[in-house]
Each structure stands twice: as structure tokens, then as C-alpha cells.
Amino acid sequence: MLIHPEVTAALAAGGPVVALESTIISHGLPRPDNLRIAREIEDAVRAGGAVPATIAVVDGTARIGLDDEALSRVAGDPDVTKVSVRDIATVAARGGVGATTVASTAHLAARAGIKVFATGGLGGVHRGARDTWDESADLTTLSRTPILIVCAGVKSILDVGATLERLETLNVGVLGYRTDRFPGFYRADSGHPLDWRVDSPGAVADVLRARAALGTDVYGLVLANPIATEHELDVELHDRVLAAGLRAADVAGVHGKDVTPFLLDFFHRETHGASLAANVVLVLGNARLAAEVAVAYCAA
């Protein structure tokens, strides 16, 4: 692993650092806007008072914190591979370039000593998983990775109820940020209630400290931050595009790691930019909140 000097310095000083994933850049957001958005996400972390550490594998090296050249390559090269935990070593051994998912980003961030991670949406249990067994490695990785992940819930392309059940089984806690409802990514409310609500970055930091004292910090923790209602995707547009996207994936016979990128791309195209606008707003909000939580945690 190669840790960016600014990240090394912050960690050594016990300062706030926020990890960021790169699959959202390479496979989750359309080129060429993705590079500008990736920089804006880093800026949002800085605005919240923390150091951003975008994570990717570049020429065989797992990098924690990217310089502008590396960020540009991950954003601009259509051949960048989507890398989950099981793929990191193979891509590294071959000197390849890979964008890390929530799972592999969480793994590498925790290994570097980073405690807080921000993204848009978590992977989860796919619809039809009873037949396909398609469940994101994000879930099992969080079950054994000591990190807080700030996200806007999971997309409705997934089976949200099943995802919440799996998180419970895997000892991954879920805190609603100023909400009692699990957020639905493009929508503030997925329709599922949550057991726990927190109302300030300080309250999240209190939970992080209690986890460390009690040893439950070996597991991941989700801080679910809903999109502001004025930025939500129109519900009819959302439901229509979701149904069409699931049908299109079925017809095209998409499977495995291609399912999520396929559906994200379908959404962005079919909503003519409305889903992209919502996606950007929520990820910037998550980056900012993650920074504030990291600051609160380091302050005590």
C-alpha cells in the first residue's frame, strides 16, 4: 500500500481522515463529469475539516489518497477494472489499474488505520437473490471490517428489506442521521424503519468511542444519511425507470459484477440527468457529514 503523504501526516497526528471509494467514479458516474465530481467529493471532505483519501489500485499499487494524475486515470480510462476484496491481490500482482468498491475500499482503509468512509450507496442483496445468490461482498466485508460508512442507504435496484436483514445478521449496525427511516438513495425514505437515530456528528462519535471500548468496533457501522427532500428524484419517474431497468438487465442477461454498473448507467440515461443530479447532491452531503463525524471523533 502507498499512503499519500498528506494522509500519512494526518493519521500520525491523530487527525480526521475520510476514505472515499473509486468504483463510484469509474463505474457509478458517467464520464467525463465523473472526474469533476470526484474532485468535488474530495473538496466536500476538506470543507468539513478532514483529509480525503480516495482509494484505488494504480499500476499494481493499492493507493490510499490519490494525486490528480491517478484520479484522472481512474476517472478517464474506460478499461479500469471494478475490484472487490477478492480481486485486489490479483490486480496488484499483475500491475493493473482497478477501482475499489465499498468492500475493497473499506478493507484497505481499515488497514491504513482510517475510521470513517463516505460513499453514495452501499451494495446489498439483489432482487431475485433467492435464485441468483447475488449479494454484494460489501455486506460480508462490513461484517468483519472496523469502519464507519456514511451512505444514503441502498438503491431500490436492490431488495432493501433483505439487505437490512443481512446487515442485522452480520452485526453491522445502522444509525439513521436525523431520521427514523432507512433512506432509499434517490428517495429519503425506503419505507423501512430503523431502530436507532442520531442527531449530531458528536452523537455518532460517542457511539464510535463506545464501540471501541466494548470491542464491537471489529464490525462495520452504517450511518444512513437521507437525501434532502427537495433534491429527491420524482417518485413516478423513479418507479418507472426502476421497473424498466430491471427488465432491461434481465433481457440483456447481465449478471455478476456487471449488474450494479448496468443499472446505475440505465438510471442516469433514462432520467436524462435527474438521477445524476440527485446522486451528486447526496454523495457530497455524505462526504461533508463523514468529515464532521471524523472531526468530532478526533476531538475527544
Catalytic residue set: 21, 155
Q: Give the Cα separation of 46 and 150 in Å (integer).
A: 16
**Bridge partner residues of 125 (DSSP):** 135
134 is a contact residue toward Mn ion (CB under 5 A): yes
Q: Are strands 51-58 and 98-100 parallel, antiparallel or unpaired?
A: antiparallel
The C-alpha cell at 48 is 468539513
Nearer to Mn ion, 111 or 255 (CB): 255
195: left (phi over 0), alpha (psi -120 to 50) or beta: alpha
To the nearest whole angstrom, how small is the minimum distance from the Cβ of residue 45 to Mn ion?
28
What count of other Cβ atoms lies within 10 Å of the Cβ of residue 176?
22
Per CB under 5 A, 232 contacts Mn ion? no
Partner from ligand PSU, Mn ion, none contacting 101, C-beta within 5 to 8 A by type: ligand PSU
Of these, 4, 7, 16, 28, which contacts ligand PSU (CB under 6 A)? 28
Applying CB under 6 A, does 238 fall inside the site for ligand PSU? no
Torsion on CA atoms 94, 95, 100, 105, rounded to nearest 10: 100
Q: In this complex, which beta carbon is closest to ligand PSU, that of residue 5 or of residue 161?
A: 161
| Look-up of cell digits 480526521 | 16
Binding letters toward ligand PSU, positions 258-297, x by CB under 6 A: --x---x---------------------------------
Q: Are 149 and 57 in contact (CB under 8 A)?
A: no
H or E stretch covering 97: none
Q: Rule CB under 6 A: is residue 65 a binding residue for ligand PSU?
A: no
Tracing cell 442477461 back to the chain, one arrives at 253
Cell of 47: 470543507
Output the smallest distance, CB 190 to ligand PSU, in A: 13
Shortest distance, position 84 Cβ to Mn ion, whole Å: 9
Which of these segments, 44-52, 133-141, 238-246, 292-300, binds ligand PSU (CB under 6 A)?
Answer: 133-141
Q: What's the longest Cα–Cα distance across the chain?
A: 53
CB of 96 to ligand PSU, least distance (A): 17
CB 93 to Mn ion: min, Å: 23
Running DSSP on this structure, what letter comes out for residue 294? H
Q: Is 113 left (phi over 0), alpha (psi -120 to 50) or beta?
A: left
* Upstream peptide bond of 78 is cis (omega within 30 degrees of 0): no
- Interface stretch with Mn ion, choices 33-41, 92-100, 132-140, 209-217 (CB under 5 A): 132-140
Amino acid at 138: D
Rounded to whole angstroms, the Cα distance separating 65 from 77 reads: 18
Q: Is 217 in the site for Mn ion (CB under 5 A)?
A: no
Task: Indicate which of ligand PSU, Mn ion, none lies near residue 138 (CB less than 5 to 8 Å, by partner kind).
Answer: ligand PSU
Binding mask 146-185 for ligand PSU (x = CB under 6 A): ---------x-----------------------------x
Residue 136 is a binding residue for ligand PSU (CB under 6 A): yes
Q: Are strands 116-118 and 61-64 parallel, antiparallel or unpaired?
A: unpaired
Q: Which parts of this chain interact with ligand PSU (CB under 6 A)? A: 21, 23-24, 28, 101-103, 120-121, 123, 136-138, 155, 185, 257, 260, 264
Q: Which parts of this chain interact with Mn ion (CB under 5 A)? A: 134
